[in-house]
Amino acid sequence: MEDSQTVAALQDEHIDTESISINFGPHHPSTHGVFRMVVRLDGETVVDVEPKIGYLHRGIEKLAEERTYLQIIPLVDRLDYVCPMTNEQAFCLAVEKLGAIEVPERAEYIRVIMAELTRIMSHVLAVGFLWNELGATFTPMIYAYRQREYLQDLFELASGARMFHNYMRPGGVVADLPDGWVARARKQLAEFERFLDQFETLMTENEIFLARTIDVGVLPPELAINCGISGPVLRATGVAYDLRRADPYSIYERFKFEIPTRSHGDTFDRYCQYFAEMRQSLSIIHQALNRLPVGPVFNEKAKRLRLPAGEAYGHIESPKGDLGFYIVSDGKPQPYRFHIRSTCLLNLTALRQMVIGQKLQDLVIIFGSLNVTMADIDR
């Protein structure tokens, strides 16, 4: 009897292995902040992942209800701290919609320039950190960081702050560009273009890199749409959805640019998507710099800001995707209700489906290629 059982067990060729669950985070070098995943591992293969979020919850939505609209701007800066300018832009858009505030021409151009610079800054960090998670000891990341510092110099010149700019206002921007800013931006962008070429030559065709990213963490377009994923992660699956085209805001109709897409939706495609978008952003900035009009940068009527009762939703194509602010006003200086459509939270929702069956090492780079910021997710 026992013999036949043994034979059956052998024929089955199934070795019973025990899976272990690992607490991946919240303090972990590659979780981009305080993200926690309870990972079930069978050897090196990921069997299950349970993402846990909320470690960076600051209650920004509730805090905003106690503050005037101007006071909220520093708060939204701290949402996704990698791209503060676009957060401000989206928030201002919502407020301007509700208050029917006109924005001067020059301010719109400056906003576009700042938003696209932010997009470049966010994408270059995404790429750099992805390499770090691949195990290339900091070198590509520091190369990327250096470029980010240069871009931050530009922000600092304009707004006075490197990270939390507090630069845009409902009705324009707080200050005009200083003298020589445009020339300096041009110089910096030329430098950045060289950097992109250099980085792609050095890195993208690395054999280990190709082996580790191609066909890893495939995101099917249907799943991406169903999960509400947007931004480069969505476009890398082949869906050409970009709010700058789909729901044009600001003055994006005036610029010539393409919406690059990839077709496979794997980690490698997301990586290439970032590069393609950075090049498009560069082209938009060049166009905007060339056509930058003269004039005021702030609509004086918006100085005493009091919004009528009502509601408005403003959303823009932030570097991470569709970022929206929903404001309900009851006529008081503070919003009655303030809601953030967090891009990163929605982009993270497909993580579980993407990583199951992949290796532990892939989990890290798939998460990295989604390019989320925990501050935006937990809010």
Partner 1 sequence: MEFLDVLPLMIMQWVRTQLDMIMPVWGAEAIVAVIKIILLLAVGIAPVIAFTWAERKTLARAQDRFGPNVAGPYGLVVAFADAIKILTKEDVTPAAADSIVFRLAPGLILVPALLVLAVVPFGRGMVAADLNVGILYAVAMGSVTVLGVLSASWSSRNKYSLVSAFRSLAQLVSYEVPMAFALLAVVLASGSLSTVRIVEAQVVPFAISMPLAALIYFLSSLAEANRSPFDMLESESEIVAGLNLEYSGMRFAMFYIAEYLHIFLVAALTTTLFLGGYKGPLLPGWVWFFGKSLLVVFVVLWIRTTWPRIRLDYLLDFAWKFLVPLGMANLVLVAIAYRLASNPYLAAGLSLVGNLVILLLAGGILVLVARRSQSRRLRAVVLGEA
Binding site for partner 1 (CB under 8 A): 20-23, 28-30, 41, 43-44, 131-139, 142-143, 146, 204-206, 208-212, 214-215, 260-264, 268, 276, 359-364
Q: What is the b/e burial string over 334-354, where b = at least 16 CB atoms within 10 angstroms of the residue's CB? A: bbeebbbbbbbbbbbebbeeb
CB of 35 or CB of 109, closer to partner 1: 35
CB of 192 to partner 1, least distance (A): 15
CB of 29 or CB of 180, closer to partner 1: 29
CB of 272 to partner 1, least distance (A): 8
CB of 113 or CB of 282, closer to partner 1: 282
CB of 69 or CB of 241, closer to partner 1: 241
- Distance between CA 233 and CA 236 in Å, rounded? 5
CB of 97 to partner 1, least distance (A): 34
CB of 119 to partner 1, least distance (A): 19
CB of 174 to partner 1, least distance (A): 34
CB of 182 or CB of 356, closer to partner 1: 356
CB of 82 to partner 1, least distance (A): 19
CB of 121 to partner 1, least distance (A): 18
CB of 86 or CB of 237, closer to partner 1: 237
CB of 215 or CB of 300, closer to partner 1: 215
CB of 20 or CB of 246, closer to partner 1: 20
CB of 299 to partner 1, least distance (A): 41
Report yes or no: 98 and 307 within 8 Å, Cβ to Cβ. Answer: yes
